[in-house]
């Protein structure tokens, strides 16, 4: 059985930030590309761009800035706000996992161990 993990989805009004969007932001930070980040998540560019537009519209300023193509091609990077949002979301995940560790362990103990063939 794989180690349990907590997946956190935060909803504030109509805005939502969850593990998929956070992973996309991480991918953009790492690759410098919306397309590459989406591919790394087995997501189409259209879907990745749609999520970026959704996040950019939900916050007071964009989380992701695009650089148009040119001689060296285009790209994307997280803005200062994008870095802050991602850092705070990851910190919230860690806090929730730490605070819920006892309950996560208890729930895990109640599951059938599939490796025993049960």
Rounded Cα distance between 22 and 46, Å, is: 17
Beta bridge partners of 11: 16
Residue 2 confidence (pLDDT) above 90: no
Q: How confident is residue 118, by pLDDT bands cut at 50, 70 and 90?
A: very low
Calculate the CA 60 to chain-centre distance.
19
Tokens of 42: 């087995």
Q: Over range 80-104, report the average pLDDT.
A: 96
pLDDT tens profile 23-82 = 999 999 999 999 999 999 999 999 999 999 999 999 999 999 998 876 666 799 999 999
For 69, which DSSP code? -
């Amino acid at each position: 059985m794989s180690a349990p993990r907590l997946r956190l989805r935060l909803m504030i009004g109509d805005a939502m930030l969850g593990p998929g969007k956070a992973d996309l932001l991480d991918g953009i930070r790492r690759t410098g590309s919306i397309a590459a980040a989406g591919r790394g998540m087995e997501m189409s560019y259209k879907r990745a761009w749609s999520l970026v537009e959704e996040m950019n519209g939900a916050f007071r300023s964009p989380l992701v800035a695009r650089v148009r193509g040119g001689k060296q091609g285009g790209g994307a990077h997280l803005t200062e706000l994008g870095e802050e949002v991602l850092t705070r979301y990851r910190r919230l995940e860690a806090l929730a996992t730490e605070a819920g560790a006892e309950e996560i362990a208890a729930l895990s103990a109640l599951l059938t161990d599939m490796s025993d063939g049960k």
